Amino acid sequence: MIGAPPPGEGVGVHSDDGLINIYTDEYSLVASHMSTGAGEVTFTLLNNGSESHSLVVIRTDRSIYDMPVYDNFVQEEQLDVVGKIEAISGGTTESLTVTLEPGKYLLMCNLRTHYTLSMRTSDHFVVE
Ligand SMILES: [Cu+2]
């Protein structure tokens, strides 16, 4: 275990500093905060699993139930991907800094089948 979600993680928890931890395992993806301010945002992927996992940041108003899924992948080319951490091994971490405009985002792992195995935030990540 390289990091655990803090108590009270989840919807409604705002990050004032734009630092967001993303915890992955088989098969879940949990964000330490579900909103932050516009500007530079750093996502740190902490892969607590034994398998590899990735992080894809997509700007979208569409819900998690309305993603274009085909052949067990979310079809990223049909969406506005604003940042990505390619698959990292279990027990490792990696960070991604992106400049985000106000809007709604979804955070997910998009390795084969992982999205449908619910490796995604349960709702939008909101940039204010
Ligand atoms: Cu995954």
Residue 9 forms part of a structural domain: no
Residue 1 forms part of a structural domain: no
Distance 42 CA to ligand 1 centre (A): 19
Residue 43 forms part of a structural domain: yes
Give me the number of domains the chain comprises: 1
- Residue 107 near residue 67, CB atoms below 8 Å: no
The count of other CB atoms within 10 Å of the CB of residue 29 is: 23
Which tens digit of pLDDT belongs to each residue from 101-115? 999 999 999 999 999
> Residue 55: which CATH number?
2.60.40.420
pLDDT at 56: 98
The set of residues, in sequence order, having a beta carbon less than 8 Å from that of 50 and lying 6+ positions away, is: 26, 90, 91
Residue 7 forms part of a structural domain: no
The single residue listed with the structure tokens 């909101």 is 126
Predicted TM-score (pTM) of the model is: 0.92
* Pair type for strands 39-47 and 19-25: parallel
The count of other CB atoms within 10 Å of the CB of residue 85 is: 20
Distance 11 CA to ligand 1 centre (A): 21
Which tens digit of pLDDT belongs to each residue from 71-104? 999 999 999 999 999 999 999 999 999 999 999 9
Q: In 3-state terms, the chain is what percent helix, strand and coil (to 5)?
A: 5, 50, 45
pLDDT at 3: 65
Residue 6 forms part of a structural domain: no
- Residue 104 near residue 82, CB atoms below 8 Å: no
Helix (H, G, I), strand (E, B), or coil: what is residue 49?
A: coil
Mean of the pLDDT values across residues 32-57?
97
Distance 36 CA to ligand 1 centre (A): 24
Is the predicted pLDDT of residue 14 greater than 80, yes or no?
Answer: yes
Is the predicted pLDDT of residue 2 greater than 80, yes or no?
Answer: no
Distance 10 CA to ligand 1 centre (A): 19
